[in-house]
């Protein structure tokens, strides 16, 4: 009642939970780093992007659509893409929800499912949006630590899952560690997650982990279970389409997709993205090549870093999580000085870690050499 009498300031209008949210950290801006370092070429290893680009078929599809004209709104249901995704996974299209990146689906899930005060469980160190989106709608977030070897802590998960969560976000492989849950470990979490909770398996990096025979296909594990679940995947990482923003979720049932559609902006996935994703999905060879080359570099760079004395988490993804032995923001700052962008980790207990996605072998060699020099100096 008294609020109407007070003149508002922008700050006084902002919801309290919004004012308290941590900002998403996208890493340093490449243009700024280029200007500041004077480096001829910036090596950007901060966002887990693919250096190997996108399928030529996707480029063609985008060009064709642009030439045909984009004056019409996109298909609001993305039915051709939903059908292509559904067909590739043997799931009906009505159980596929599309997002402007899979982060958009994370956001829709929180809006559709969470009430203020609800509990969300996720892992630490973890993906910041698994915390920011729940907090945005007033939910509480409980974080399960990893083991000292960056592995899955079954006892800690079991204890956390016993606290009656409404939603569980589990990334496999995990960002930022790159660690992978094996089939037995995933099955244990599924068994320990109460049926009253929505279990969300974020598989943004699944393509890189699949060559490991113990990597579980989340869809195969969850398919047919009588409990609510969603598996999230994206075209941003292995498919190399991060700039065009498209990802998707596979839901346990069509009712969950319908709930997300209520909170989704109708044209959340633009037509160029829909077309590019359909074409990318059809190019198995490009994906296989990206996965193979990435795997080779992950193994090679991990070995080189360990040989130089760094502690490196075993990675099943396209990035490595490195204990630099120094404050990571200082290390990252010195790397900017030579034109290399990595992500400095800031979560408590991990302030000495950086996360670096890999690029071409030449770039990765420059990175290993510069990091080794900087940390030897430090």
Ligand X SMILES: *Cc1c(COP(=O)(O)O)cnc(C)c1O
Phi and psi, residue 309, nearest 5°: 100, 5
Which part of the chain contacts ligand X (CB under 6 A), choosing from 210-218, 231-239, 260-268, 288-296? 231-239
One of 96, 113, 171, 189 touching ligand X (CB under 6 A): 171
Q: What is the per-residue DSSP string for 266-321?
A: TT-S-HHHHHHHHHHHH-HHHHHHHHHHHHHHHHHHHHHHHHTT-EE---SSSEEE
Measured from the CB of residue 28, what is the shortest distance to ligand X in angstroms?
17
Evaluate whether 180 touches 212 at the Cβ level (below 8 Å). yes
Of the candidates 321, 320, 342, the one whose C-alpha atom is nearest the C-alpha of residue 330 is 342
Site for ligand X, residues 260 to 279, rule: CB under 6 A: none
Would you say how long the chain is, in residues?
A: 378
For ligand X, the closer of residues 151 and 361 by Cβ is 151
The residue number whose beta carbon is nearest to ligand X equals 101
One of 107, 118, 185, 202 touching ligand X (CB under 6 A): 202
For ligand X, the closer of residues 237 and 264 by Cβ is 237
* Residue 176 DSSP symbol: T
**DSSP H or E run through 214:** none
One of 125, 134, 228, 247 touching ligand X (CB under 6 A): 247
Phi and psi, residue 234, nearest 5°: -145, 155
Measured from the CB of residue 242, what is the shortest distance to ligand X in angstroms?
5
Q: Which two tokens stand for residue 23?
A: 């900002």
Measured from the CB of residue 218, what is the shortest distance to ligand X in angstroms?
13
Distance CA 34, CA 36 (A): 6
Of the candidates 302, 295, 303, the one whose C-alpha atom is nearest the C-alpha of residue 356 is 302
For ligand X, the closer of residues 169 and 310 by Cβ is 169
Site for ligand X, residues 81 to 110, rule: CB under 6 A: 101-103
Measured from the CB of residue 327, what is the shortest distance to ligand X in angstroms?
24
Site string for ligand X, 297-316 (x = CB under 6 A): --------------------
Q: By CB under 6 A, how many residues form the interface with ligand X?
A: 14
Distance CA 123, CA 119 (A): 13
Measured from the CB of residue 121, what is the shortest distance to ligand X in angstroms?
15
Residue 374 lies near ligand X (rule: CB under 6 A): no
For ligand X, the closer of residues 74 and 240 by Cβ is 240
For ligand X, the closer of residues 123 and 366 by Cβ is 123
For ligand X, the closer of residues 22 and 378 by Cβ is 22
Three-state DSSP at 353 gives strand
Distance CA 172, CA 174 (A): 5
Distance CA 359, CA 51 (A): 5
For ligand X, the closer of residues 100 and 252 by Cβ is 100
Residue 332 lies near ligand X (rule: CB under 6 A): no
Residues that bind ligand X (CB under 6 A): 48, 101-103, 127, 171, 175, 202, 204, 234, 236-237, 242, 247
């Amino acid at each position: 009642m008294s609020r109407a009498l007070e003149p508002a300031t922008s700050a006084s209008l902002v919801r309290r939970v919004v004012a308290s949210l941590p900002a998403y950290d996208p890493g340093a801006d490449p243009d700024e780093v280029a200007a500041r370092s004077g480096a001829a070429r910036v090596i950007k290893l901060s966002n887990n992007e693919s250096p190997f680009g996108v399928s030529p078929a996707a480029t063609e599809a985008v060009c064709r659509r642009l030439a045909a004209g984009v004056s019409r709104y996109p298909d609001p249901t993305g039915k051709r893409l939903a059908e292509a995704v559904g067909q590739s996974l043997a799931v009906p299209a009505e159980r596929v929800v599309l997002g402007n990146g899979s982060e958009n689906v994370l956001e829709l899930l929180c809006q559709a499912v969470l009430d203020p005060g609800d509990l969300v469980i996720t892992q630490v160190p973890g993906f910041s949006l698994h915390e920011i989106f729940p907090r945005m709608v007033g939910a509480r977030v409980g974080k399960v630590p990893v083991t000292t070897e960056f592995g899955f802590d079954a006892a800690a998960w079991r204890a956390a899952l016993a606290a009656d969560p409404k939603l569980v976000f589990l990334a496999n492989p995990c960002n930022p560690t790159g660690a992978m849950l094996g089939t037995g470990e995933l099955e244990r979490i599924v068994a320990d997650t109460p049926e009253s909770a929505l279990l969300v398996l974020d598989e943004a990096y699944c393509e890189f982990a699949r060559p490991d025979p113990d990597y579980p296909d989340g869809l195969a594990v969850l398919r047919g279970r009588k409990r609510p679940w969603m598996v999230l995947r994206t075209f941003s990482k292995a498919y190399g389409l991060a700039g065009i923003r498209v990802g998707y979720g596979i839901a346990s049932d069509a009712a969950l997709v319908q709930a997300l559609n209520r909170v989704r902006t109708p044209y959340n996935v633009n037509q160029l993205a829909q077309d590019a994703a359909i074409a990318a999905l059809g190019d198995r060879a490009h994906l296989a090549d990206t996965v193979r080359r990435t795997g080779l570099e992950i193994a090679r760079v991990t070995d080189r870093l360990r040989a130089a004395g760094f502690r490196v988490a075993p990675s099943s993804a396209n990035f490595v999580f490195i204990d630099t032995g120094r404050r990571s923001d200082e290390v990252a700052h010195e790397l900017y000085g030579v034109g290399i962008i990595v992500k400095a980790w800031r979560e408590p207990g991990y302030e000495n870690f950086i996360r670096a996605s890999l690029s071409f072998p030449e770039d990765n060699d420059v990175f290993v050499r510069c990091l080794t020099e900087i940390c030897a100096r430090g």
